[in-house]
A and B are shown apart, each in its own frame.
Chain A
Amino acid sequence: MSTNSLKASTNSLQASSTDRGRAGDKIFSGISLAAGILILAVLFSVAVFLLVQAAPIFTADPTEVTGGNGFAPYILPIVIGTVVAAAIALLIATPIGIAVALFISHYAPRRLARAFGYVVDLLAAIPSVIYGAWGYIILAPQLARVYTWLAENLGWIPIFAGPASQTGKTILTAGIVLAVMVIPIITSLSREIFLQTPNLHEEAALAMGATRWEMVRMAVLPFARPGIISATMLGLGRALGETMAVALVLSPGALVGSLVKSGNQTIAAEIALNFPEAFGLRLNELIAAGLVLFVITLVVNMIARFIITRHKEFSGAN
């Protein structure tokens, strides 16, 4: 052992090692680690800052809160409005989104499938404010006539109860615009999963004489089910948090059961419409509303991610 250490001191390999290079390694790994930790810190501080700024509203006198009955009665209707708008969006977007994904992955002519994929990506690239403007100026007036017809002919169903909004700026319109924005999300995620379907399963189904639909139902859909669910959840997260489309398309008001009357409001739109002019306790109130939205979308997204990671482990992907 002692001869060993003696030898080590004259080790030519040690002599030629440069400290400068080693420092470079340390610094570089250090700053990349710092960047990673910074991200965790940012997310953590998002939660903390929102909490701190929201805190006064929970201790404030209920009469000072908008509506005069405290925070819960204020937030509850707009939480419901948010959920209803998102639910409408999902109801429309999920079947269409999945079908479009299926179209691109299994139905469209091979040569065009890529181009169609780009088209759907294009749909995702358009800024939300433009969808909002489109919904405000083009879609809502068109739908107003449909709503009038619905209220006249199907008014006995509570969700179509009249009198219908003459401007068409209702929660149903907001839901439809949201659906348009959510479709590309559901499509692009589902498409990727459909394309991952093991070719062998598909061929096995076809070899049994299955039609294309039977092949899709037997081989593709069961394989993709967890992926579809999480794609839908991510779409839901987007629909819950989307602001501009709703802020422009919905003329807000108190919670109403009818989808074709004006009224209702979502959290995101409530913040966007009121924050620029807000001050004092109203600011805290809106930030608290943002906190509620943050928590809702966080839960939805975490469930989606959980499904994805569990699916990955099961399918042996990666």
Chain B
Amino acid sequence: MSANQMLQRRQSQLTRGHLPSYAVWVVLAASVVLGAALASLVGFSVVGWAIISAVVFVLAATLVTAVAEGERKAKDRLVTFLVYGAFLIALLPLVSVIWTVLERGVPGLSYNFLFTSMNGVTGAVDNEAVEGGTPVLGGAYHAVLGTLQITLWATLISVPIGLLTAVYLVEYGSGKGLTKAITFFVDVMTGIPSIVAGLFAAALFALLFGPGTRTGFVAAVALSVLMIPVVVRSTEEMLKIVPNELREASYALGVRKWRTITKVVIPTAISGIASGVTLSIARVIGETAPILVTAGFASSINWNVFSGWMSTLPTFIYYQILTPTSPTSPDPSTQRAWAAALLLILMVMLLNLVARLVARIFAPKTSR
């Protein structure tokens, strides 16, 4: 029904056009030529040429339409150009980021990078690699392990709390004042800057265990503050779309409420919940700021989240870029940073993909 209406809407736009369809292309070609001329006048690069051509094209096409088809059609066309243009502009950074990470990250992504830490890798080692042309030593193994441990702990803290809170909100608390308060503050919590979450965990542990307590676990607590609201919101949405009829069917069989929730409601929503949890992991796995203030920085492997400093991929990237291992020849550090960035993006993308697959594959088959 609605698809049909869309189709009609688009057709009416097409059939009412007065200008021949090639007119746009003619204007485009002319704009590119004019853009080249203007760009060479100012002395700018290819980028300048593209920008000037685009501006000229939008203005010219709007003007031509205004003359040929009237002001209303011209306005419509101008907005269409702007909307398409905005999308292209938004794509630019994405393409640039992904291209950069691939181009600079792939060369550094070796077995050595994946499975050695930065333990013993000093400025001298890097200098040697640059001067002698030997392979870059040192890798992000410790950071990968740190990321996995901290994220795992954050998940272990956040999922039960988030899930149970969502259960309370949907199954027990409907209409109560407390529910409204929790919903509101969960929303507020979504907006907490990640650095503030880090400071909170740092301040909490400083009060409990003395100032300067920095471990992987403190970082996990900081990440939980960011993760819990995401888990609550997504789980809440998923529990809400479980049809009430299923709950009633279960109650009518003489099943207790808690068994109804754990055996009927949650299993029905589990694919959505799992997908939401995966997305929340994807969100916190790339967090940097809270780790900086809670877990410190380490160059060697640390298997214990409860003691000692720890690195994660994001902080590894940050420090490799900002304070290269060898200040005189930063290239090996930059290479490691981009390789780590590529690894991090791959992890995040993988998590996003898994989330979508989980949602699709394990969704209960309904007949409706």
State the A residues within 8 Å of B (CB).
Answer: 21-22, 24-25, 27-29, 31-40, 42-43, 45-46, 49-50, 52-53, 95-97, 99-100, 102-104, 107-108, 110, 116, 119-123, 125-134, 136-139, 180, 183, 187, 199, 203, 206, 211-214, 216, 234, 237-238, 240-244, 247-248, 268, 271-272, 275-276, 279, 283, 286-287, 290, 293-294, 297-298, 300-302, 304-305
Q: Which of B19-27, B85-93, B130-138, B298-306 contacts A (4 or more CB under 8 A)?
A: B85-93
Number of B interface residues at 8 Å Cβ cutoff, please give it. 102
Question: B168 within 8 Å of A by Cβ?
Answer: yes
Taking the closest CB of chain A, its distance from the CB of B85, in whole angstroms, is 8
Asked, given contacts A33-B172, A130-B341, A136-B321, whether A268 binds B289 with beta carbons under 8 Å apart, the answer is yes
Check A243/B193 contact, CB under 8 A, given A49-B200, A127-B286, A128-B286. yes
Chain B residues with CB under 8 Å of chain A are 2-3, 5-6, 9, 12-13, 72-73, 75-76, 79-80, 82-87, 89-91, 93-94, 96-97, 100-101, 160-165, 167-169, 171-173, 178-179, 181-182, 184-197, 199-200, 202-204, 206-207, 211-212, 225, 228-229, 232, 256-259, 261-262, 282-283, 285-289, 292-293, 296-297, 314, 317-318, 321-322, 334, 337-338, 341, 344-345, 348-349, 352
Give, as a whole number of angstroms, the nearest-CB distance from A144 to chain B: 14
Query: Is the CB–CB distance between B349 and A125 below 8 Å?
Result: yes
The listed residue (B167, B191, B204) touching A49 by CB distance below 8 A is: B204
Shortest Cβ distance from A212 into B: residue: B76
**CB-nearest residue of chain A to B225:** A42
A46-B196 contact in complex given A53-B206, A127-B348, C-beta closer than 8 Å: yes
* A125 and B348 contacting across the interface, CB-CB below 8 Å: yes
Query: A38 contacts B161, CB within 8 Å?
Result: yes
Q: Min CB distance, A295 to chain B, in Å? A: 10
Q: Is the CB of B193 within 8 A of A137?
A: no
Instruction: Select from chain A the residue with minimum beta-carbon distance to B75.
Output: A213
Contact B76 A211 (CB under 8 A): yes
Determine chain A's interface SS by DSSP, over half rule: helix
B232 to chain A, nearest CB (A): 7
Closest to A131 in B: B97
Q: Would A35 and B160 be within 8 Å (CB), given that A40-B185, A271-B199 are in contact?
A: yes
Contact B258–A25 (Cβ < 8 Å): yes
Question: How far does the alpha carbon of A240 sit from the alpha carbon of B164 in the complex, in Å?
Answer: 31
A275 to B160, CA, bound (A): 31
Q: Quick check: B82 and A39 within 8 Å, CB to CB?
A: no
A25 to B259, CA, bound (A): 8
A43-B86 contact, Cβ under 8 Å, with A25-B256, A126-B97, A127-B314: no
Instruction: Please name the residue on chain B nearest to A31 by beta carbon.
Output: B164
